[in-house]
Each structure stands twice: as structure tokens, then as C-alpha cells.
Amino acid sequence: MPIPEDVTGDEIDKDVRQELQSLPKTLAEDVAKNLVMVARLIDEDPEGAYAYSKVALRLASRVAAVREAGGFAAYANQKYSEALAEFRAARRMTGSAELWPVMADCERGLGRPEKALEMAGAPEVHKLDKAGQVEMRLVAAGARRDMGQLDAAIVTLQSPELASNSVQPWTARLRYAYADALLAAGREGEAREWFAKAVEADRDGSTDASDRLAELDGVEFVDAFDDSDDSEDTDDTDDRDASDGGDAERVEVEDDKD
């Protein structure tokens, strides 16, 4: 796999770099560059990230960080069985419970929500930091929804973290999940309130809470210029500006609520 010239391998986390010190210098550099590419592509090009992760695994499968990266790349491509295997390998190497929530979510992806719920009640959860515990709560609520237990999913998400007014990295996703569960249960008014709270906390646009809120408020997006109208117009004397035939503007149309 080609590596862009601007990738040096120095971009990786210092803890990962330390892990790679067990490898020969040249090999460590090659692995580091592939790990950088995994991190760079995993959101926008998960298939590309997966390809680079396979190279890293071929070069250094005994390094926990490489197994973890392989797991996340497989997870991003919905290869849940493979992801779970890589996460388990990484966990055996490190002894850390950090990957426990994403391992449980892999169980959900494999159609085993009961197993995910079992993991949510395991002792490993108590070893997680606050972010990990919130993530585990989100996975458990998702498992409840997988099983058609909407009310239980809502209760699962009700927590001090949800009630807190402080904004943490997980706040937007937690509020969003709660709003979505409320909406699925037919509690539209409460759902709107929590989608609005999710918008307030979503500083980096990690959710589509603003779009969901707009839908509930009756706001829709339409094309200002419909190409079908242009095709019906056969008048060659039409002297509209060329710009009128370009990309359609996006305008908001709000239903009249009076």
C-alpha cells in the first residue's frame, strides 16, 4: 500500500510509539506509517483504512496497538467477527478493559444482544473510566432496543451523566441516544427537548441532532430550482443567467404552524 510523502510515522501516539520500540527500527517505522494511515482514513474511507490495517497486522501482529487498530478498522467496515477477534487479542496482550464496550457492540453486530447485555453487567465495566462506562451504557441501551425493549432502553440511558448540565465528550451522543429512544417510544415532545439538548452539546457535529430537531419542527429542505422544470422549458429565447442552471440552492421551508 502506498504511503503519502507527508506521513512520517511520528504522528502516532507516544504510547503506541513506545510499543513499537520492541521492533527493529525500520520495521517500526513502516508499521507506524501504516497505523497513521488507518487513523487518517477510518472515518472517510474505512475500506482504505482496513487495507492499511492488514499491512500493519502482517508486519507486527504481536503488537497490541496493531491488533487494536486492526479491530477498529474491521469494526468500521462492519466485519464484526474479525473485529471482535482482534479486540480480544489486544485485550489478552494488555490486560486492559478499555475495549470492553466496543467488544460488546461487536456482539450486537453479530446479532447477539443478550451477550452484549451480559457484558454490560460484568466486573470489567467497573474498571472502565467515565467515558468507557457511558459508552457501555449506550451499548446496553442499543442491545435493549435490538430486543424490542424500548422502555428498558430509555431507563438504561437515564443516569447522572445524562442529567448533568456539564458538557463532556460523550454528552451529545448520550443525549441523542436518549432522544432517539424517546421518539421510538412515541414520546415526541420529550424527544424534541432532548434533541435540542443534544444540539447544544454537539460542538463538533458528531451527530445529526440538528437535522432530527428540524424534522420534528416541520422544517424540510427543498430544491429552489427543480431540474424537471428546466427540462419542460423548450423556449430557446430564454435569456436567464447561466448561473441559474448551476447547483440548486438549499433553502429551508418551515410549515405554517398558525
> pLDDT tens, 201-226?
999 889 999 999 999 988 765 555 55
Taken as a whole, the chain contains a residue count of 258
Helix%, strand%, coil% for the chain, nearest 5: 65, 5, 30
Question: Mean pLDDT over all residues of the chain?
Answer: 88
Q: Which stretch of 68-77, 102-111, 152-161, 210-219 has the lowest confidence by average pLDDT?
A: 210-219
**149 vs 252, higher pLDDT:** 149
In degrees, rounded to 5, the angle at the alpha carbon of residue 188 between the alpha carbons of residues 187 and 193 is 105
- Give this prediction's pTM: 0.81
The answer to whether residues 134 and 157 touch, using CB atoms and an 8 Å cutoff, is: no
Rounded to an integer, the average pLDDT of 135-150 is 97
Alpha-carbon gap, residue 146 to 108, rounded angstroms: 8
Is 80 exceeded by the pLDDT of residue 173? yes
- Alpha-carbon distance of 242 to 35, in angstroms, equals 47
